[in-house]
Amino acid sequence: MTVGVLALQGDFAAHARVLSDLGAEVREVRVPADLDGLDGLVMPGGESTTMTLGIEREGLGDPLRAFAATGAPIFGTCAGLIMLDREHLQIMDITARRNAFGRQVRSFEADLTFPDLDGPPVRAVFIRAPWIEDAGPSVEILAEVDGHPVAARQGSLFVIAFHPELGDDIRLHERFLADVRAHVGAP
């Protein structure tokens, strides 16, 4: 089982570290050929304009859409959530609002309860975070802050507006890897 981390810009190294600590084989994705044979992909947080330019430069748009169409799990976090939306890669049926919490509230933490996660709430670190402004009928909202969706699922796509790679709560990465394992039919 090999999972990719989009490594054009942003917090990809921290994601790769968490995933390898959890026993996954991790590959950094920079060009389309890096997607070959991957069983899942993390789209990290960072800066979505820079990431968009990198995706265009490397010709990764169509390959990423084709990868998503195989049903392989994709975990989009913060800028990664933005990249998957209707205005960017058009992979997920959501519209993200960038820097949605306002310039004053650049970063904050919040406790989020996920319906399908055991144990205490997730201590979520938000950094110039987006929220989900609009979502289609096949999107399930999993968590909100002040009534604004910040975590959602649509089939094999799982997005959160915060940074799970900061801090020591590894449950969301574990959940992503469980999805990947289910996708490849591994025990």
Ligand X SMILES: NC(=O)CC[C@H](N)C(=O)O
The answer to whether 47 is annotated as binding is yes
Q: Residue 128 Cβ, how far from ligand X at the closest point, in Å? A: 4
Q: Answer yes or no: 15 catalytic.
A: no
- Residue 94 among known ligand-binding residues: no
Shortest distance, CB of residue 78 to ligand X, whole angstroms?
3
Query: Quick one: 95 or 99, whose CB is closer to ligand X?
Result: 99
Strands 2-6 and 40-43: parallel
CA 28 to CA 7: how far, in whole Å?
5
Residues engaged in binding ligand X (CB under 6 A): 45-48, 78-79, 82, 98-99, 127-128
Determine the Cα–Cα distance for residues 77 and 61; give it in Å rounded to an integer: 18
Which tokens belong to 32?
């389309």
End-to-end, the C-alpha distance of the chain in Å comes to 11
Task: Say if residue 48 carries a ligand binding annotation.
Answer: yes
Find the catalytic residue in 78, 87, 140, 183.
78
Q: Which of 165, 173, 174, 183 is catalytic?
A: 165
- Whole-number minimum distance, CB 52 to ligand X, in Å? 9
The Cα 57–Cα 5 span in angstroms is 18
Task: Pick the closer one to ligand X by CB: 48 or 154.
Answer: 48
C-beta of 82: minimal distance to ligand X in Å? Answer: 6
Q: Is the separation of the CB atoms in 37 and 12 below 8 Å?
A: no
Active site residue 144: no
Q: Are 24 and 3 in contact (CB under 8 A)?
A: yes
The SS3 assignment for 162 reads: coil
Kindly state the tokens that stand for 62: 């169509």
Sort residue 110 into left (φ over 0), alpha (ψ -120 to 50) or beta: beta
- Which lies closer to ligand X via its Cβ, residue 39 or residue 74? 74
Nearer to ligand X, 72 or 125 (CB): 125
- The answer to whether 128 is annotated as binding is yes
User: Which positions are catalytic?
Assistant: 78, 163, 165
Known binding positions for L-glutamine: 46-48, 98, 127-128
